[in-house]
Amino acid sequence: MRQDHGYPTMTNGPLSEMAKPRGWRDLPIFLTYTLYGLDIFILIAAGWLSHAGYHAELEWPAPYIVLTLATVAAFSKSVESQNCYNQARLPRILSSSYRAIITWTIMVVVAIVVIFLLKVSSSFSRAWFLLWWVVGALGLVAGRYAIALASRRARAAGLLTRRAFLVGADALGRGLLDSLGPAVRIVGVFDDRQRRLQADQPRLQVDGTIAQMVDVLRRSDIDMVIVSLPSHAVDRVQAIVRQISAVPVEILLCFGAVGFRFNRIEAGMLGDALVVKVVNRPFDHGGWLIKRIEDLVIATAATVLLAPVCLAIAIAIRLESSGPAMFVQTRVGLNGRRFDMYKFRTMRTETAAERETVPQARQDDARITRVGRWLRRTSLDELPQFVNVLKGEMSVIGPRPHAERHDQHFSALVADYPMRGRATPGITGWAQVNGYRGLTDTDEKITKRVEYDIWYIDNWSLTLDIKIILMTIFGGMSGKNAF
């Protein structure tokens, strides 16, 4: 069975495609560096304008200049480390602006804390800080809007599309074609194995041989050639690369099943060997330290500030029903380690059978007390887990820990479920604020929860944690699934 890849054949395909307007291959990089420079210029200009406007003078004192440059430098480094200047994010105004404003706010707060600790805060105007933050935030949004608008118009005009030739017309090439995004357009497919390709297997329409492709490359301006052949065909791949290397064009090797079955891959050299990283170590490059400091600061503050609330809750529980105010249950944490998780008791005291089966709470569950129902709906029953955070058994943000019996059941149900164990479990998480909390009585619910948990682990950042905390405070942990 032959399957057309959607482009004309050699007679009127790749050659005619060369006559069409092509994209500027460096335009995405240009837009990225423009945004990077624009951020720096906007924030420095905002600092000067805020000072000039508030103090009605053009002279900018040295302390203000030093603080401004240091804060802007820290902002630029932080935003860059979060991959906010990624070319794929240029058209996304809301998400890009949100990350920038959150990071900008954090940097301004840090600057205020630093000058306070250095006992030089009297040298700076509080009104200037406020004006600088507001003007800077508005400028960051305006800059991103301009770049996003330019990026969208360039993409609509085809200026961001890179044209490529594909080597390999078998099922592997077909899989690659289906996986490519809008930034790359395959304008020709080439393969020397036309007679050996299985007729009953999905395949692409072939535009010519490798030699013909090289001839077309010499007379055109193709951006790249993607070689998609089986990994065992090392000699054949090497020979093809040598043929193409005579032409000034970028050559990419597709890793076949590796590229299609893993969300992220990163190729590199380990000594003299070419290796492919398919899973990153979570919270590396110092991320684990930042996250632990975040946990200690938030958990300590919450434990102190919410102590009266916890005392009132404990008294209400004891007055309504017999039994302890606290509920302790063994949960599965980081690397499968067991720990005792604390909660306020929201149900009547368990029977021996219930302790053995560990049934999940359901809507209108007769075991839930009146106080307990309110605590579960508002998630206040989770407050004692800040003690678990201080002990290092849990984090403020992370995948929710499950009971041992549930953990075993879900591991057998969802293939990727064990990957949640790469992170310390949390009081709240990305899955919970997106509606996947509470009862997991269907395969879809637990599958989606696992997907959100893994995404959080792979995409963690300080700003993402702040976002989750804000979403939790403003309703992300309450609602129809909270019972």
Q: Which of 106, 130, 156 is the last residue of a domain?
A: 156
Residue predicted with more confidence, 5 or 64: 64
pLDDT category of residue 4 using cuts at 50, 70 and 90:
very low
* 483 belongs to a structural domain: no
209 plus 299 within the same structural domain:
no
CB burial readout 236-265, b (16+ within 10 A) else e: ebeebeeebeebebeeebbbbeebeeeeee
Whether the predicted pLDDT of 152 surpasses 50: yes
pLDDT category of residue 449 using cuts at 50, 70 and 90:
very high
Whether the predicted pLDDT of 12 surpasses 90: no
What does R_g of the chain's alpha carbons equal in angstroms?
29
Q: Cα dist. 371→348, 380, 384, 440 in Å?
A: 11, 11, 16, 23
pLDDT, residue 388, reads 96
Q: Which of 15-24, 48-57, 146-155, 438-447 has the highest mean pLDDT?
A: 48-57
Whether the predicted pLDDT of 155 surpasses 60: yes
pLDDT, residue 481, reads 54
The whole-angstrom separation of Cα 106 and Cα 465 is: 13
Looking up tokens 């943000």 gives 397
306 plus 319 within the same structural domain:
yes
Whether the predicted pLDDT of 19 surpasses 60: no
Q: What is the mean pLDDT of residues 353-378?
A: 69
102 plus 206 within the same structural domain:
no
Whether the predicted pLDDT of 197 surpasses 70: no
pLDDT, residue 270, reads 66
Whether the predicted pLDDT of 268 surpasses 90: no
pLDDT tens digit sequence for 71-105: 999 898 888 877 777 766 666 777 778 888 988 99
Sheet holding 184-190, edge to edge: 184-190, 162-167, 224-227, 250-253
Angle CA(264)–CA(268)–CA(273) in degrees, nearest 5? Answer: 130
pLDDT, residue 7, reads 38
- Please count the structural domains in the chain: 3
pLDDT, residue 23, reads 47
pLDDT tens digit sequence for 438-448: 776 678 888 99
Q: What is the mean pLDDT of residues 249-265?
A: 68
Query: Backbone dihedral region of 435: left (phi > 0), alpha (psi from -120 to 50 degrees) or beta?
Result: left
* 318 belongs to a structural domain: yes
pLDDT, residue 8, reads 36
Are the C-beta atoms of 143 and 35 separated by less than 8 Å?
Answer: yes
116 plus 236 within the same structural domain:
no
3-state secondary structure labels for all residues of the chain: CCECCCCCCCCCCHHHHCCCCCCCCCHHHHHHHHHHHHHHHHHHHHHHHHHHHHHCCCCCCHHHHHHHHHHHHHHHHHHHHCCCCCHHHCCCHHHHHHHHHHHHHHHHHHHHHHHHHCCCHHHCCHHHHHHHHHHHHHHHHHHHHHHHHHHHHHHHCCCCCEEEEEECCCHHHHHHHHHCCCCEEEEEEECCCCCCCCCCCCCECCCECHHHHHHHHHCCCCCEEEECCCCCCHHHHHHHHHHHCCCCCEEEECCCHHHHHCCCCEEEEECCEEEEECCCCCCCCCHHHHHHHHHHHHHHHHHHHCHHHHHHHHHHHHHHCCCCCEEEEEEECHHHCEEEEEEECCECCCCHHHHHHCCCCCCCCCCECHHHHHHHHHCHHHCCHHHHHHCCCCEEECCCCCEHHHHHHHHHHCCCHHHHHHCCCEEECHHHHCCCCCCCCCHHHHHHHHHHHHHHHHCCCHHHHHHHHHHHHHHHCCCCCCC
Give me the phi and psi of 248, to 5 degrees please.
-75, 80
* 66 belongs to a structural domain: yes
The whole-angstrom separation of Cα 53 and Cα 48 is: 8
Q: Which of 170-174, 215-219, 376-380 has the lowest mean pLDDT?
A: 170-174
Nearest of 251, 261, 284, 232 to residue 81 by alpha carbon: 284
Residue predicted with more confidence, 459 or 15: 459
pLDDT tens digit sequence for 372-387: 888 888 889 999 999 9
Are the C-beta atoms of 424 and 333 separated by less than 8 Å?
Answer: yes
pLDDT, residue 207, reads 83
Whether the predicted pLDDT of 170 surpasses 90: no
Q: What is the mean pLDDT of residues 6-17?
A: 43
199 plus 255 within the same structural domain:
yes
301 plus 425 within the same structural domain:
yes
Locate 3 and state its tokens. Answer: 């399957």
- β-pair type (162-167, 224-227): parallel
The whole-angstrom separation of Cα 445 and Cα 282 is: 24
294 plus 432 within the same structural domain:
yes
Q: Which of 277, 309, 325 is the last residue of a domain?
A: 277
Looking up tokens 């890793």 gives 255
350 plus 444 within the same structural domain:
yes
Are the C-beta atoms of 351 and 364 separated by less than 8 Å?
Answer: no
Q: Which amino acid is residue 224, in one-letter code?
A: M
Residue predicted with more confidence, 63 or 247: 63
Q: Which of 254, 277, 300 is the last residue of a domain?
A: 277
303 plus 381 within the same structural domain:
yes
Q: What is the mean pLDDT of residues 228-235?
A: 77
Q: Which of 135-149, 184-198, 366-380 has the highest mean pLDDT?
A: 135-149
Whether the predicted pLDDT of 146 surpasses 80: yes
Q: Which of 205-209, 427-431, 447-451 has the lowest mean pLDDT?
A: 205-209
* 5 belongs to a structural domain: no
293 plus 266 within the same structural domain:
no
194 plus 129 within the same structural domain:
no
* 8 belongs to a structural domain: no
The whole-angstrom separation of Cα 416 and Cα 453 is: 10
* 6 belongs to a structural domain: no
Nearest of 99, 173, 170 to residue 140 by alpha carbon: 99
Q: Where in the sequence is the domain holding 97, given as residue range(s)?
A: 27-156
Tally of CB atoms within 10 A around 113: 11
Residue predicted with more confidence, 391 or 31: 391
Q: Which amino acid is residue 312, in one-letter code?
A: A
pLDDT, residue 405, reads 85
CA 385 distance to own-chain centroid: 26
127 plus 95 within the same structural domain:
yes
pLDDT, residue 389, reads 96
pLDDT, residue 413, reads 87
* 2 belongs to a structural domain: no
* 481 belongs to a structural domain: no
Proportion of the chain above pLDDT 90, given as a percent: 27
Tally of CB atoms within 10 A around 452: 19
The whole-angstrom separation of Cα 353 and Cα 122 is: 65
Domain at 226, CATH number: 3.40.50.720
